[in-house]
Chains A and B, each alone.
Chain A
């Protein structure tokens, strides 16, 4: 099992940092899966913790100038590591102006992901900052826990409004209630609603547009005006929205009526999926 990679370009380093920062805001621990072509940050939370799951996929070629890996076996050329994304994010913070960043899987007192950042220096002597981030290697027999989530058979798929507007609204709603009903239909309308003993608030978005549907269960029989809805934990939703540091090039939301909400964020070189289960 080997892994070694290098980033030389500042732009790539910055965008990789942004992705890691986003992940670290979403979860305390996550699984990093390395394959020959891709990196994946994954989370599949237990139902007791809210059952949220996340799937973030990065094409290594978009970030790394060198990328060598050798998986656990020739028939399973992959590596699964469990790590604390906050550690990774903190290490990358010191590497902000680095000339190059090397990542390596090492065995110190425990398995580590070692990051070595070469910082600019005025003299000919180079300055290198090294971070050893402890990781747990996940044995092959547990890999099946981390399958790519299947895109659910959703009732409605809709493009999201500007994230800032949505975030503002949800931040206020969080002060008023613990749960929120998110509903949308296939004519571009989405509503966010809360209701408590003191107050009921509903925010209505229009003309959002629906992604072209590729079949699925949303057959022509279903009425365009019918709302699909899901009642979710506001905190999970707020956490997700505030984790976003840059506006994605595409943001959409799929709703499986009364079951779950599935968010898809598409960035130039990364994609993020987030699943929030609905509550009764």
Chain B
């Protein structure tokens, strides 16, 4: 390992040690959920889950499985801490986050446990950076109680097609209305802006539609301002699963492929804006 700077204490004292040869595998996926400063980290032997929330209405989770890391050692069943995500991202990209092939930043992340700072050792081209980020009291994340048995409608799309639609959305509209239905119009995005209403329809037999499982016609509105951060995840992803449950809660799951071709997931939950009369 190129990391030569080691703290004086042995790894044995850390409750969590994680190493990556390419820090972009972590920083890129964290950028997809970076819309608020506070991020809750929860590490288990399966990997790392990072949660960011806004206004108790929106929650984003990024999952980085332990296999993504070259080393992932955890001494307890579950380790949680909260840090400032903006600061963390600045630290992770301290060498500029170069995309030049062959130039990667290696990372070693260590955590001593409750009350200790999160330590990062980064190395690129023989230059070493040591960061100590103060951790905060972890807050309990909201449980959206979104479970797969409760899913009313589900579609899986190629991200390209949704990216195109999102880039053309009328941002003057306060809400984005999503209609999912087993019959026409199948999957529809609607905006109600200053210059009129717009609808984007996806036929269910489109090449872009990988899976179409709609059992019931459902129309829900979501605040545009809440959905906007999810476009960061959309930009990175190759597939996206759009699901709604019986109460109209929206789940967006993004499948993200990293530099090494491994797969990670980012997930957004969003509350519906208001109830629309159902047919």
A190: nearest residue on chain B (CB-CB)? B127
Could you give, for residues 138-161 of chain A, a 1 whenever the CB lies within 8 Å of some chain B CB and a 0 otherwise? Answer: 000000000000000000000001
Interchain CB contact under 8 A, B132 and A200:
yes
Chain A residue with minimal CB distance to B95? A168
Q: State A28–B127 Cα separation when bound (angstroms).
A: 34
Beta-carbon contact of B94 and A203 below 8 Å: yes
The secondary-structure label for the interface of chain A is: mixed
Interface residue A280 (Cβ < 8 Å from any Cβ of B): no
Q: In the complex, A202 Cα to B94 Cα: how many Å?
A: 10
- Is B130 among interface residues, defined by CB-CB distance under 8 A? yes
Asked if A198 and B131 sit within 8 Å, CB to CB, the answer is no
**Do A161 and B129 have beta carbons less than 8 Å apart?**
no
A201 — which chain B residues lie within 8 A by C-beta? 91, 94, 129-132
Q: Which of B94, B130, B133 contacts A172 (CB 8 A)?
A: B94
Cα-based distance from A171 to B98 in the complex (angstroms): 14
Residues of chain A contacted by B91 (CB below 8 angstroms): 172, 176, 199, 201
Would B129 and A202 count as touching, CB distance under 8 A? Answer: yes
B96 nearest CB neighbor, chain A only: A168
Contact residues of B between 57 and 91, Cβ < 8 Å to A:
84, 86-87, 90-91
Cross-interface CB contact of A199 among B93, B95, B124, B133, cutoff 8 Å: B133
| Docked CA distance A164–B130 (Å) | 19
CB-CB nearest in chain B for A204: B128
Which of B5, B96, B127, B133 is most buried by chain A, counting CB atoms within 10 A of its CB? B127
Q: Given that A198-B134, A200-B132 are contacting pairs, would A161 and B94 also be in contact in the complex, using a CB cutoff of 8 Å?
A: no
Beyond A168-B96, A169-B94, A172-B93, whether A199 also contacts B128 by CB under 8 A is: no
Are A200's CB and B129's CB within 8 A? no
Q: With an 8 A cutoff between CB atoms, is A268 at the interface? A: no
Q: Mark A210-228, 1 if CB is under 8 A from B, else 0.
A: 0000000000000000000
Q: Mark A189-203, 1 if CB is under 8 A from B, else 0.
A: 000000001111111
Q: Which residues of B contact A176 (CB under 8 A)?
A: 87, 90-91
B125 within 8 A of A: yes
A residues in contact with B87, CB < 8 Å:
176, 198-199
Instruction: Report 30 cross-chain contacts, Cβ distance below 8 Å, ordered by A residue.
Output: A164-B96, A165-B96, A165-B125, A168-B94, A168-B95, A169-B94, A169-B95, A171-B96, A172-B90, A172-B91, A173-B94, A175-B86, A175-B90, A197-B134, A198-B84, A198-B87, A198-B133, A199-B84, A199-B87, A199-B131, A199-B132, A199-B133, A201-B91, A201-B94, A201-B131, A201-B132, A202-B129, A202-B131, A204-B127, A206-B127
Interface residues, chain B, with chain A CB atoms under 8 Å away:
5, 84, 86-87, 90-91, 93-96, 124-134
* List of 3 A-B pairs having minimum Cβ-Cβ separation, nearest first: A168-B96, A203-B129, A201-B131
